[in-house]
Structure 1
């Protein structure tokens, strides 16, 4: 049974809906730019994101100049705001992706052949650029792309959020037993499954990211190995001007142990983030390390991001997969 929304849920959702109605009255380019500005200069400071970004940068990039840190405390929320406006722009977003974005990289040929052969692929995505732009670009080619997502804690927000991401592409599978079972059926049927790997997962394998211990779900690699599917890194890189994307498909990760494969993905993502620091979501608590710079550090809890930051492909812990995966579907 769905939880009844609290007063806080109702007020928060009402404020978000009012904001989106306001910006959606604007032409697409101005809509995206305005949401970026609001996140960078209003929501980011109010939500404490600048403090969180500084704390994460102090851990991962301690030698970063102060001027660059100040830039990132604004540029990271701006990218998140732009992504939110794009995700809620439906047909306008899809039309812009078809017209103004390109697909490249050494893994494109593999995706083409897999689509023709009906072979499953696990797409390793991260909270970088705009992950929904990646889905839109692949669907525009007629390729079968699905993703696992985490439903929002606010049930009122979750209704329009799910409608917004489903308007970009389907199928999408909610995290949980039923969603995981449907996801596995889709993958075995030759679908391209987008899964995340760049958020802290409590109890997951401890690998390295930016040289620091980072709990990392092994699910993408385990599914790829179990279903003889290539594990392919993919990212939608926002281009100068802030509206267009280059969707880069990397080389598949060579089959090995799940930990080795996921460490390779962490290393690949680190290289990408270092080249485009403002496009990764430094707001997430990727490293659960105690530091005086972050008053929330050290709490034993999973990330609970603001609704504006959540969504996109996510990966459940591998033990959840094993419980939810029947032998036949």
Structure 2
């Protein structure tokens, strides 16, 4: 599949976006000169100490943690938010570190009842939809599954900074294709892919304005139900998969849950929310609390 990323001279954006992109390119380019074992922890520290505070991500993580767990001590929220910022930096540089990252992912421990379902469904030439969230490194799960030959593409939401998006898309394509941008044309492409028995992975933990009001982490959250709708429409198993960083290191444990039973798409999506919530509650620093998952006014109850 041709790259979905345009050349820089085709991009339009603000001077601020251009400057931000050039700064990140310098940091990423410098890190990539280091051995993998050194670059990943180093970029995590750069993210925690420089990138995340400047971008406001650390503060947003603390605010989200306070919204979900108002009784948590402030010191604990700060500590989690800093580890979230560090994990985000590690994920970013891991995703830029191909082919090293995908080679490493081929040896990640991968288990769970959904693994056999994916294997059997792919062998039968039927479509598969894997659903996950911004937990650990979601691309580690896709890379691990693709190393087994499952041909897992994906649907992605383009970043608001078009300059950065132009090369970030290529990191996703390095893990597996086809990749489809969120939007009318991308959705049409993904539907064709599924109708031909393709496999795709979707992340379903971002705020969606036209989604359904479901529960997530004890709060109302607008959530897309399209993954469940597509699973029902194409008779595809909806399989949750997670990649959890092991002991703050370089490797991941990939767990593939049993498929969510087909039924009402809202109930199916709520089941996914509940599964992700359980993982976040057990290991909160692995989730990307930097997203605006809940809008102002969301309260428990």
Q: Same fold (TM over 0.5)?
A: yes
Q: 1:155 aligns to what?
A: 162
Q: Please state if 1:177 is matched with 2:187.
A: no
Q: 1:301 aligns to what?
A: none
Deviation at 1:157, TM superposition (A): 1.7
Q: Please state if 1:30 is matched with 2:42.
A: no
Cα distance in 2 between the residues matched to 1:3 and 1:22: 24
Q: 1:139 aligns to what?
A: 146
> Is contact 2:151-2:176 (8 Å) kept?
no
Deviation at 1:71, TM superposition (A): 1.4
Q: 2:56 aligns to what?
A: 48
Give the length in aligned residue pairs.
Answer: 290
Deviation at 1:70, TM superposition (A): 2.0
Q: 2:120 aligns to what?
A: 113
Q: TM-score when scaled to structure 2?
A: 0.92
Aligned-residue CA RMSD (Å): 1.5
Query: Unaligned 5+ residue runs, structure 1?
Result: 292-329
Cα distance in 2 between the residues matched to 1:5 and 1:59: 33
Q: 2:86 aligns to what?
A: 78
Q: 2:3 aligns to what?
A: none
SS of the equivalent of 1:127 reads: coil
SS of the equivalent of 1:107 reads: helix
Q: 2:247 aligns to what?
A: 240
Query: Unaligned 5+ residue runs, structure 2?
Result: 1-5
Alignment of 1:208-247 (within 5 A): 208-247=215-254
Q: 2:69 aligns to what?
A: 61
Q: TM-score when scaled to structure 1?
A: 0.85
Deviation at 1:50, TM superposition (A): 2.2
Cα distance in 2 between the residues matched to 1:154 and 1:256: 38
Cα distance in 2 between the residues matched to 1:227 and 1:178: 19
Cα distance in 2 between the residues matched to 1:17 and 1:43: 13
Q: Deviations over 1:92-139 (max 9, x none)?
A: 11111123x111111111111112111111111101111111111011
Alignment of 1:209-288 (within 5 A): 209-288=216-295
